[in-house]
Chain A
Amino acid sequence: MTSFRLSKGGLIDRAAQLSFSFDGKRFTGHKGDTLASALLANGVTLMGRSFKYHRPRGPITAGAAEPNALVELREGGRKEANTRATMVELYDGLVAASQNRWPSLDFDVGAVNSLASSIFVAGFYYKTFMWPKSFWEKIYEPLIRRAAGLGTASKLPDPDKYEKAYAHCDLLVIGSGPTGLMAALAAGRAGKRVILADEGSALGGSLLNEREEIGGTSGLDWAMGVLAELASLPNVTLMPRTTVIGWFDGNIFGAVERVSDHVAAPDPHEPRQRYWKIIAKRAVLAAGAEERPVAFGGNDTPGVMLASAMRTYANRYAAAAGKSVVVFGNNDHAYRTARDLKAHGVHVEVIIDSRKESGADAAGVPVLRGRMVADVTGGRAVKAVHLTDGTHIACDAVAMSGGFSPIVNLACHKGAKPRWDANLLAFLPPDTGAAFTAAGAAAGKMLLSECLADGAAKGAADGRAISVPTCRDEAHAIAPLWWVKESQGKAFIDYQNDATAKDLPLAAREGYKDIELAKRYTTTGMATDQGKLGNVNAIAIMAEATGRSMDEVGTTTFRPFYTPVAFGAFAGPFTGHHFQPVRKTPLHDWAAEQGAVFVETGLWMRSSWFPRKGEDWLAAASREVLATRSGVGLCDVSTLGKIDVQGRDAGQFLDKLYCNTFSTLAVGKARYGLMLREDGIVSDDGTTSRLAEDHYVMTTTTANAAKVMAQMEFAHQALFPDLDVTYVSVTEQWAQMAVAGPKSRATLQKIVDGLAMSDETVPYMAALEVSILGGIPARLFRLSFSGEHAYELAVPADYGNMAARALMQAGAEFGIVPYGVEALSIMRIEKGHVAGGELNGTTTAGDLGLGKMMSTKKDYIGRMMAQREGLNDPNRQCVVGIRPVDVTDRIRSGAHILRKDDKPSMANDQGYVSSVAWSPMLNMWIGLALVANGRARHGEIVQVWDGLRGTQVLGEICDPMHFDKENKRLHA
């Protein structure tokens, strides 16, 4: 294989040889190479196959806008698809593979698509795959997806770490070319906090790629001098390998720093990438300008590339794009390209200038004026060009230049549109105010001297100007040229989507004249490069086809992100349990000792059941219920929200929050409370106790603890700001356990200090501050969710495990068992207590059978709206019990209730089963249901129809309280 590495020059480290592989073949390159430059230096120009036609493709650019040279980089969990070879820094051991080809890059069966290209014109999906409709999902779409496409994602987890960080600065400079360096220098010398960010692997921007003269030395040396000064300033932060991807409200910029993408794998303790939010008082967009291709036949043949890219490969990477080059352009940059290549010893056959005249220096290279390249022949590599006048010129590479487009993307991220400048033939950035200004080539300054001066002016702070160095300017005259219509072959506008110049007039003819519609119809400007190269050409062709101006056609919407971003960068460290941390209750260790099976509910790990040998969840939970109802059981209820409410107006505040009254609650007593939303629907419930005149302890459901706290804060601060009350969440500060069953009192008595427990000293609904185990402060509540004679004991969190262990010991003689949320749930359904299935955001207090709790003597949240007619309709679904007629039948949660003789259909729906449990006390499945006018229908036989599982059984509507209707056990 011939080497295309130039014998000298470039910014590569020739002493550092790096080995890499592409499609399984070994190659060598140098430190300082990109994957693309190293492949070019090895004579490899074919790097990928195109999206639709599977055409052979090589790099068009040497930078971020690359649409063609997309590879799958790395292997295993680190494999990244659609990675731009032009941006990949070469490292030793790099492994890359080409995409969208089968069986190989050289011979790709999919290329037959090109022969059938007449059916693959714009909109072909919509035209071809319309009928029959059912074929789309199962046949057409999977087929298209396999045939057309980009790289494939790894299915393995990403082994790398990502970080997020914030930075603040007085001035953010985006881009480190001549403009950006001057801006950073001006602000840096004025003592401002400056961040200079650039997506490149090294700072210097175009000065790394071009041969310039600044301040009497080379542009590169000048840049290195400025960077050295900036690096010495403590107030300046240099951020290479950092792409600013978006401009957001508050002058916040998103930026992705590629911390470790230039090595095979990140160092331990280093992230792969870091996502920055940079909060900038001011920012300067010095992103430069992107060269445009020209649409002519075969302008996608490997070996055809942008003139600036060809210069970059020669000047920076010492890689020649070919042995014999034709340069084609509509502007003076074609001439500098020929000069640069000639200086590097690359033969330039001819410059083809579409204009009739030019004053630029061709350095002795022949120039053919007033002609254009119509077609490139060669297929997998350039062999020749055919000109519009019929001339045939052999060559192996073509440099093209259609002019320059300022990189305005970031300036448009908030919705402002760029405006067309007919002299520069470029869209210029919109006015974005003083806090974010474009400068240099990004603002349409096409001369180096203008860029240096503009950067210095826009970066200057506090009126402190810096002197601008002298430089040599390149000619930049240009005449419009978008599409060589004499072309025979496919002239591509959007390489990545295989959209051709002809597709745009076709879209216009078919009515898609709006550029946003044309984009979607032709797919021009989509996918990973978002039309960075081709959009302006597309707009120009559309303007011509529809007789409109460039401004009338306008651009499509520029949205973040400027270049594709790995999901990992946005996720940062917040993955798995770092996203949803685990909350363990203070009794977790005790429950684990007891063999608990834990279930995640929200963030909490709750003990769900405590299996003994050979037991499944149902056997364990049933045993726990039986043991509790016949002796005593202990359950961790620490996850309930606990809010400490204190102050002179605490009672009054609770009266506003709950629909029932708490200001009249006696000290030392607890009361069940129900909270409504302002629209009259129930929001939460729980027991709240009064420990002192001005001190209450509120409990909420586990799920709503945080929500209730936020609602209390709103009610107090925004609605009732003059109430003298303060409150704080103490959920994590207290371990709380339910001690339930006929032996609960006897068990507790053994650990409670100095209190003879009786119905007189600890009556039903008592709430007392006591101590246990010889001085541990505790709160003792006589509450019951299970329906048994029961208590809840709360101790400071750190005493939780100790207290639970002591209770297990105390209850041992009564056969105490730990029980989990499954048993808890069974017992509450047996007793008809409502929980999450019924407090579901659609039910009123009346629906829950709790209508009498709603006070008529005070104002509270939800009072007025709860009186609405619709919320008091007797036909509303309300809570009832449901049980099978045949006790061997199983009732399922979610099943619908139908009248006995109605056909199974949602049209006949009467309600649904909201909670079910196997009742070990009743030996059957029982449930709670929400049924229309249910309270009047106790005793009615209905169908319980589960259309999803396909079951249908007869059930009986009954009182929700399935067990111990007289509540004898509660007071036993």
Chain B
Amino acid sequence: MLIPCPHCGTRPVEEFTFLGDASVTRPTSNDPASMEQWYDYVYLRANPRGRFAEFAHHSGGCRAWLVVTRNTETHEVYGAVTARDYARAKGAKA
């Protein structure tokens, strides 16, 4: 599998370390009332068939954390953005 790293170009998957579902967002509240959100954030992970965005660390390359979107069924890789851009875009939306 090849991953299009925004910094390094297309690189083999062996250079990356995967962390899983990138759809989760770390809650901002430390209020005990937010505990349910925290459980979801820490433990609930999607495992869809089809399109899936997941965190990947280019640990054998530029060391950027990326969000790689791929198809879990066909293994087609749709693209990758940096986790920073992804987080900022999500923050802007929220």
Contact = CB atoms under 8 A, between A and B. Distances in A.
Contacts of A679: 42-43
A710 B64 CA distance: 9
A253 to B, nearest CB: 13
A250 interface: yes
A490 interface: no
A717 B42 contact: no
Nearest to B34: A864
B38 A714 contact: no
Interface string B6-27: 0000001100010100100011
B83 A718 contact: yes
A279 B14 CA distance: 14
Contacts of B94: none
A249 interface: yes
Contact of A717 (B17, B30, B64): B64
B71 to A, nearest CB: 10
In this complex, the member of A252, A279, A713, A867 whose beta carbon has the largest number of chain B beta carbons within 10 angstroms is: A713
B62 to A, nearest CB: 10
A717 B59 contact: no
Interface in A669-693: 678-679
A863 B30 contact: yes
A907 interface: no
Interface in B37-89: 38, 41-43, 55, 57, 59, 63-65, 75, 77, 82-84, 86-88
A714 B82 CA distance: 11
Contacts of B19: 714
A279 B65 contact: no
B2 A252 contact: yes
B2 A865 contact: no
A354 to B, nearest CB: 43
B35 to A, nearest CB: 7
Nearest to B37: A864
B30 A859 contact: yes
B20 to A, nearest CB: 12
Interface in A381-428: 414
A678 B26 CA distance: 10
Q: Is the interface of B mostly helix, strand, loop or mixed?
A: mixed
B83 A249 contact: no
Contacts of B86: 718
A714 B12 CA distance: 21
Contacts of A717: 64-65, 82-84, 87
A721 interface: yes
Contacts of A414: 75
A860 to B, nearest CB: 9
B17 A279 contact: no
A211 B3 CA distance: 47
A249 B75 contact: yes
Contacts of A252: 1-2, 12
A789 interface: no
A329 to B, nearest CB: 41
Contacts, number: 68
Contacts of B55: 714, 718
Contact of B2 (A250, A678, A714, A867): A250
A410 B22 CA distance: 33
A717 B55 CA distance: 11
Contacts of B83: 714, 717-718, 721
Contacts of A867: 32
Interface string A792-820: 00000000000000000000000000000
A871 to B, nearest CB: 12
Given A717-B65, A864-B34, A865-B42, A710 B2 contact: no
B87 A719 contact: yes
B51 to A, nearest CB: 16
Nearest to A714: B65
Interface string A711-744: 0011001110110000000000000000000000
Given A679-B42, A710-B17, A721-B88, A250 B77 contact: yes
B12 to A, nearest CB: 7
Contacts of A249: 1-2, 13, 75, 77
Given A710-B59, A721-B84, A248 B1 contact: yes
Nearest to A248: B1
Contacts of A710: 17, 57, 59, 63
Nearest to A679: B42
Contacts of B75: 249-250, 414
Nearest to A279: B2
A718 B84 contact: yes
Contacts of A859: 28, 30
A713 B42 contact: no
B63 A713 contact: yes
A37 B55 CA distance: 55
A678 B88 CA distance: 21
A823 B92 CA distance: 54
A258 interface: no
B2 A719 contact: no
A193 interface: no
Interface in A763-804: none
Interface string A266-295: 000000000001010000000000000000
Nearest to A859: B30
A715 to B, nearest CB: 9
Contacts of B12: 166, 252, 277
A277 B1 CA distance: 11
B1 A250 contact: yes
A570 B91 CA distance: 44
Contacts of A678: 26, 41-42
A713 B57 contact: yes
Contact of A865 (B13, B38, B59, B64): B38
A279 B57 CA distance: 22
Given A713-B57, A713-B65, A719 B26 contact: yes
Contacts of A277: 12
B2 A864 contact: no
Contacts of A166: 12
Interface in A501-535: none
Nearest to A250: B2
Nearest to B31: A864
Nearest to B27: A864
A722 to B, nearest CB: 8
A683 to B, nearest CB: 14
A837 B32 CA distance: 32
B22 to A, nearest CB: 8
A722 B88 CA distance: 8
Contacts of B1: 248-250, 252
B55 to A, nearest CB: 6
Nearest to A706: B59
A414 B75 CA distance: 10
A864 B64 contact: no
Nearest to B22: A718
A863 B34 CA distance: 12
Contacts of B82: 717
A864 B42 CA distance: 10
B87 A721 contact: yes
A864 B34 CA distance: 9
B75 to A, nearest CB: 4
In this complex, the member of B17, B22, B26 whose beta carbon has the largest number of chain A beta carbons within 10 angstroms is: B26
A864 B87 contact: no
A647 to B, nearest CB: 15
B93 to A, nearest CB: 14
A94 B73 CA distance: 48
8 contacts: A252-B2, A679-B43, A713-B64, A714-B83, A717-B64, A718-B83, A719-B26, A859-B30
Interface of A: 166, 248-250, 252, 277, 279, 414, 678-679, 710, 713-714, 717-719, 721-722, 859, 863-865, 867
5 nearest A-B pairs in the assembled complex, by CB-CB distance: A718-B83, A249-B1, A250-B2, A249-B75, A721-B84
Given A679-B43, A710-B59, A717-B83, 9 more contacts: A250-B77, A252-B12, A279-B2, A414-B75, A710-B63, A713-B64, A714-B65, A719-B87, A859-B30
